[in-house]
Structure 1
Amino acid sequence: MNDGARILLVDDDPSLLRLLSIRLSAAGYQVKSAGSGEQALAVVPQFQPRLVITDLRMDGLDGLALFDSIQQQFPGLPVIILTAHGTIPDAVEATQRGVFGYLTKPFDGQELLSAIERARRLGGGWDTAADQLEDWRAPITTRSAAMEEALRQAYLAAGTDANILIHGESGTGKELLARAVHRASRRAGNLFIAVNCSAIPEALLESELFGHSKGAFTGAAQNRKGLFEEANGGTLFLDEIGDMPLPFQAKLLRVLQEREVRPVGANRPQSVDVRIISATHRDLDQAMVDETFRPDLYYRLNVVRLELPPLRERREDVSLLANRFLGEANARNGRQVEGFAPEAMELLVSAPWPGNVRQLQNVVEQAAALCTTPIIPAGLVQRALRQDLSRILPLADARDKFEREYLTDVLQITEGNVSQAARLAGRNRTEFYKLLRRHCLEPELFRSQGDD
């Protein structure tokens, strides 16, 4: 059963478009047509097709050029190419570039339906019933094409056991997406456990994640399971993985390789079956260059990478999110605030949102709490934006800010003398240079003009 799965048809021949639309609609698919490659690229973000079927030879953007553009913007979206000019070189080029299917006109209708069914199976079955219920992604509110693409990739990845790395700025909803992946996976009936790697002191990380035996250290009065064992059969979410201390990264890598953990003080390891989803707002590629993150661990974690766009790049979602947060605030506080004045919504939509969705939620809650009228006025939104509580930085960001300001002060005191600055900071020169590179600080800028 096709359950209305969406297919985009692209051809500059209107009669063929009509014929294919009738045939595929009769087979139960939801079909949309585009008369050119350029029109198809404009349709894809809104229509969100599961498959694109395109003619090869078209004026302007031809079938292969359309395929290349689709793969850049919507990687993984399968494309079938139809052509009346079928040659072996064309077919070889198309398949080498990753085109899913290649059929020569005139083609047999059953042959096309068979190719579509193959794309359906390889695409995770196109579970449109799950798309319609959308239980797995219910907490995520969006109409952004970029966010929808991230969700599409997340849903495909959820059907596997591949480790996932979610990258996005603070406040974009990385844990929300991780929980959605867990709900869409075969592990949904087991535990989802979230760990903030920047919030656990280095000395406690091993015990917290791997557990410990009775008497392993002072205060270990009994055996204790670690979070890996607690999450056995389920999903372990390692948030802010970029803040994990370098010495502990080797221990985590071994667990991922061996699929077993050894509690602190224990003689025997314990087998674990855990799906790892990690997240970070840091640039881990730069962290590897700075030697603060192990490349071998990075490649273990980064099997599937999901990018979450910042709120400033999905402004079409601001009004949806603001109204959702207002409804949630009303329910919690027993209020009946009905909505936002037009000027208030304009302020929300045009705000820069450095704190992303988390900041928007704080602003809406503050404005709703202080509102004494049925509609939130622009003045309350403006006040909330100025006094937003989310300006209290997350611990990792606050640590970065302090570190950068500290290094700047030390360099100013020593006039850019790295040896002196390193001694004051209690670090050797190599470590100190790594810190400077991490914060893009150049000692030369702090030296007096007379210095070499």
Structure 2
Amino acid sequence: MKATILIIDDNVKWCKSLAQNFVQRGYTPVYATTSTEAHDLLARTAIDLVLLDIMLGEENGVDLLKDILLLQPRLPVIMITGFGSIDTAVQSIKLGAFDYVTKPLEFDKLLQLVEHAMNVSCSRDYAPESFASDFPELITHNAAMLALCEKARKFAGTNLPILICGENGTGKEIIADVIHAHSTRSEKPMLKINCSAFPETLLDNELFGHEKGAYTGAETVFKGIFERAHGSSLFLDEIGDMPATIQAKILRALQNHEIRRIGSERVIKVNVRFITATNKDLRQLITNSAFREDLFYRLNVATIKLPPLRERKEDIPLLAEYFLAEHAKTNPTCAQRFSEAVIARFVSHSWPGNVRELKNTVHYAATICTNACIDIPDLPPHFLPKRSPQSSDNIRDDMERALILDMLQKTNFNKKKTAELLNMSRNTLYNKLEKYGIGVPE
């Protein structure tokens, strides 16, 4: 089946004439004469390509282009312009339009451009040209992120210590992986340790190792992560949670490239590239005497600060599409796209858990959804619209619905186990699933 093409122009007669030409070539055209009609069609129809006139009566086609690309960033849009507005058409391409054509149209040439745009769209990966081409793991159209990627690429070719800062879930470990992968040490795996995951004595042991007999139970020699990372990169996550005694040892390793195992005075030379990450304000920790100032300046040579997702809203639809496609690789029958309302809700959400929260939300919705398109009811409970005013019955229903969804998620959507945990029969559970509009994949 040929593609569905959305024609947007305020001239109804012209839209119908162009639509008829596409019908004769086997395409399915639909048309809109206002931005409101266009949004409505985009929300309820799977559109493969848009033809958008720059002049929409009193409306601005460029503004509509921005809206379309925000909600569906991979949708190819061809701008239609008169000779007097070619500069605006060129500006539209800079904003993300695929190309432009001028009126009066030559249909055969337009058709060639449409087919070319469709072919490019089908073959396009989730890292378009404006992404950092050397960093396909980082999906972005955001100017700050693109600059960050360029900085990371430059840092990757050096042996400088790198400090990655950012809130939880912003992708600090991904940046570390990418830097190592593009470094001269990439032939060896980068070793990682989360400094907040171990009590002080265990962290000391994991980092520096121990000699046989160093303490009760140390029956053999153990090489710590510093020794095992020799010649490679070492990623120290949550460096701000590192105890003071360990900080002193890390400083020595940075300054002198040497360590000592627990229970030994023998100096062991190590050659590692330090990549560290934190979600804390290290300068404030220094002020509070919780982090060594000399260690900070040793680590803070090449710094990368990741912006939170709420500051890169243009990336939210891109990331959501990527995570949905990622989920579909192992769940081929899951939903294939998002409704416009869902994308709008995603863009307006504050995402305190950042990219990690978005990924989990998409995977949850894709699992819950029983249709081809993920819609608002498929989202986690905190995304659902609140009733106002709330009756006690509504509050109770909301709480029960949220509880059922939570139990379904915990049991990997096993209805039998969910019913047991909720202390209800399976028939009762089925009735409540129907009542609350909860779809569970079979």
Q: Is the 8 A contact 2:334 2:370 kept in 1?
A: no
Contact 1:347 1:382 in 2 (8 A): no
Find the partner of 2:350 among 317, 338, 352. Answer: 352
Deviations 1:385-444 (A, max 9, x none): 46799xxxxxxxxxxxxxxxxxxxxxxxxxxxxxxxxxxxxxxxxxxxxxxxxxxxxxxx
C-alpha deviation, 1:369, in angstroms: 0.7
**Structure 1 Cα separation of the partners of residues 341 and 132 of structure 2:** 33
Whether the 8 Å contact between 1:136 and 1:180 is mirrored in structure 2 is no
Map of 1:95-110 to 2, 5 A cutoff?
A: none
**Matches for 1:95-244 after TM superposition, within 5 Å:** 137-244=135-242
CA contact (8 A) 2:166 2:305 kept: yes
Contact 2:165–2:172, Cα closer than 8 Å, also in 1: yes
Gaps of 5+ in 2: 1-90, 97-128, 385-401, 407-442
Counterpart in the other structure of 1:313: 311
Amino acid at match of 1:300: R
2:132, 2:146 within 8 Å by CA — same for their partners in 1?
Answer: no
CA displacement 1:52-111 (0-9 Å, x = unmatched): xxxxxxxxxxxxxxxxxxxxxxxxxxxxxxxxxxxxxxxxxxxxxxxxxxxxxxxxxxxx
CA contact (8 A) 1:174 1:308 kept: yes
Unmatched 5+ residue regions in structure 1?
Answer: 1-41, 48-130, 390-452
Tell me how far apart the structure 1 counterparts of residues 168 and 136 of structure 2 sit (CA, whole Å).
Answer: 21
How far apart are 1:247 and its partner, in Å?
2.0
- Asked if residue 324 in structure 1 is aligned to residue 312 in structure 2, the reply is no
* Secondary structure, counterpart of 1:221 in structure 2: coil
CA shift in 2, pair 1:325/1:363, >3 Å: same
Are the equivalent residues in 2 in contact too, given 1:241–1:280 (CA < 8 A)? yes
Tell me the matched-pair count: 264
Distance in 2 (alpha carbons) for counterparts of 1:209 and 1:335: 45
CA contact (8 A) 1:261 1:269 kept: yes
CA contact (8 A) 2:156 2:180 kept: yes
Q: Aligned in 2, Cα 1:148/1:133: closer, same or farther, shift over 3 Å?
A: closer
**Equivalent residue, structure 1, for 2:337:** 339
User: How much has 1:381 moved relative to structure 2?
Assistant: 2.3
Describe how 1:57-72 pairs up with structure 2 within 5 A. Answer: none
Is the Cα–Cα contact under 8 Å of residues 334 and 366 in structure 2 kept in the other structure? no
> Whole-Å Cα distance in 2 between the matches of residues 248 and 163 of structure 1?
18
Q: Which residue identity does 2:170 align to in structure 1?
A: T
Q: What residue in structure 2 maps to residue 262 of structure 1?
A: 260
Q: Does structure 2 conserve the Cα–Cα contact (< 8 Å) formed by 1:191 and 1:233?
A: no
State the AA in 1 paired with 2:171. Answer: G
Which stretches of structure 1, 4 residues or longer, exceed 2 Å deviation after superposition?
Answer: 131-136, 332-336, 381-389
Query: How far off its partner does 1:332 sit?
Result: 2.4
Deviations 1:276-332 (A, max 9, x none): 011111111111111100000000111011110000000000001001111111112
Task: Write the distance in 2 (CA, Å) between the matches of 1:294 and 1:327.
Answer: 44
Q: Alpha-carbon deviation of 1:384?
A: 6.1
For residue 258 of structure 1, report the CA deviation from its aligned partner.
Answer: 1.1
Q: Which amino acid aligns with 1:234?
A: S
Q: 1:365 to 1:166 in 2, by over 3 A?
A: same
Equivalent residues in 2 for 1:330-409, closer than 5 Å: 330-381=328-379, 383=381, 385=383
Q: Deviations over 1:88-138 (max 9, x none)?
A: xxxxxxxxxxxxxxxxxxxxxxxxxxxxxxxxxxxxxxxxxxx99978522
TM-score (norm 1): 0.55
TM-score by length of 2: 0.57
